[in-house]
Structure 1
Amino acid sequence: MTTTAEIQTPLAIDLERETATFLQELSDVQSDLLSVLHLKRQQMVANDLEAMQQTAESEQALVERLDNLRDSRKVLLENARGKGLPADSLHSLAKVFTDGESSELAQKAHNAKDAMRHIQNETLTNFVLAQQTVLHLSQLLQIIATGGKIKPTYEAENASNQGGTLVDQDA
């Protein structure tokens, strides 16, 4: 494994600075996204459509920032690969700069990974809430459309007339 002493060239120091900057920007976007997801869930519960539309605009801006960060991450890892440094993940790259897991950069990379899992959970929670709302509205529409009288799938009183009419009944 490459150690800090082996990579203390000006190019590696620039790469370390770029990694630190990237991780800070990622942390900022993740924090903002978690706030927006929480706000969005509150708005969904309150059925505040106007506020949800405004939140959707903020959410879209964050998605664009994440897209830009994804592109930056790709370039950063390609630069690391070109310098012979680990380029499979930001966490492995960050560990190189300060020798190990306890480094500040490695910790930031680990925190970013944890934050992404938290964002996935929040997104799933919002999705389930939205799906439950759609299901509830669908059931309400069905009740309105049928006047509250839902025809049973199987009728006990007409069970004898349910099949076998070509074989069992004389025409």
Structure 2
Amino acid sequence: MTLQMPSTAEHSSPPLNLENETATFLLELSDVQADLLNVLHRKREQMVANDLEAMEQTMVSEQALLERLDQLRDSRQMLLADAQGKGLPADSMHSLAKALDEDQSGELAAKAHTAKDAMRHIQNETLTNFVLAQQTVLHLSQLLQIIATGGKLKPTYEAENASNQGGTLVDQDA
């Protein structure tokens, strides 16, 4: 769903139009956030199961969501610019929603707050997946080291041959 921004012509009730556009934006953002959380959960399960084929398919879904987020970012910028032109707060969607909700039920502000909380949850899920990926890389690196050395790691410092340590890289035959 792509948001249609109003033309520069005056409308009979600009705040109501801006309120509808803000509500539409928050609804679409909520949908994208829910989809992104599902993708992140699926991706983590696939990493744990080492299902590379499924991960490739998930990456396609993830890319589509990133494109939707780019569109939402652009829509957000246009909404905030429109709000600023109408003398409304334009520093964040939450402050705009609160301003539009002053005489209403507070529904827009609640949706904006929910979207903000969902974004924090997405950040935590993303960090969890990143840590899992890093731990996997570390584990694989350790396995490769064991394979390469035959499981016999030579200690960095040897107490019994301390006098011969000075020129081992240059002087002694290995």
Give the TM-score range, shorter chain.
0.7 to 0.9
Select which of 36, 53, 63 maps to 1:33: 36
Q: 1:130 to 1:100 in 2, by over 3 A?
A: farther
Percent pairwise identity? 79
Which structure has more relative contact order (CA 8 Å, sep 6+)? It is 1
Correspondence 1:86 to 2:103: no
Q: 1:153 to 1:33 in 2, by over 3 A?
A: same
Partners of 1:134 and 1:162 in 2: CA distance: 33
Give the equivalent residue in structure 1 for 2:153.
Answer: 150
Q: 1:112 to 1:28 in 2, by over 3 A?
A: same
Q: Which runs of 4+ in 1 moved over 3 A?
A: none
Q: Say if 1:95 and 1:101, in contact at 8 Å, map to a contact too.
A: no
Structure 2: tracts of 5 or more residues without a match: 1-11, 168-174
Correspondence 1:45 to 2:62: no
Select which of 56, 61, 67 maps to 2:59: 56
Q: Which has the higher helix share?
A: 1
Structure 1: tracts of 5 or more residues without a match: 1-8, 165-171
Select which of 73, 78, 88 maps to 1:75: 78
| C-alpha RMSD of matched pairs (Å) | 1.9
Partners of 1:107 and 1:114 in 2: CA distance: 10
Correspondence 1:133 to 2:136: yes
Partners of 1:77 and 1:132 in 2: CA distance: 41
Following superposition, the deviation at residue 10 of structure 1 comes to 1.4
Correspondence 1:109 to 2:116: no
Partners of 1:100 and 1:112 in 2: CA distance: 21
SS in 1 for 2:27: helix
Correspondence 1:163 to 2:169: no
Q: 1:162 to 1:56 in 2, by over 3 A?
A: same
Partners of 1:85 and 1:137 in 2: CA distance: 54
Q: Say if 1:100 and 1:106, in contact at 8 Å, map to a contact too.
A: no
Q: 1:55 to 1:101 in 2, by over 3 A?
A: farther
Q: Aligned pairs, how many?
A: 158
Select which of 114, 119, 122 maps to 2:122: 119
Scaled by the length of structure 2, the TM-score of the pair is 0.86
Following superposition, the deviation at residue 162 of structure 1 comes to 2.2
Select which of 13, 20, 28 maps to 2:23: 20
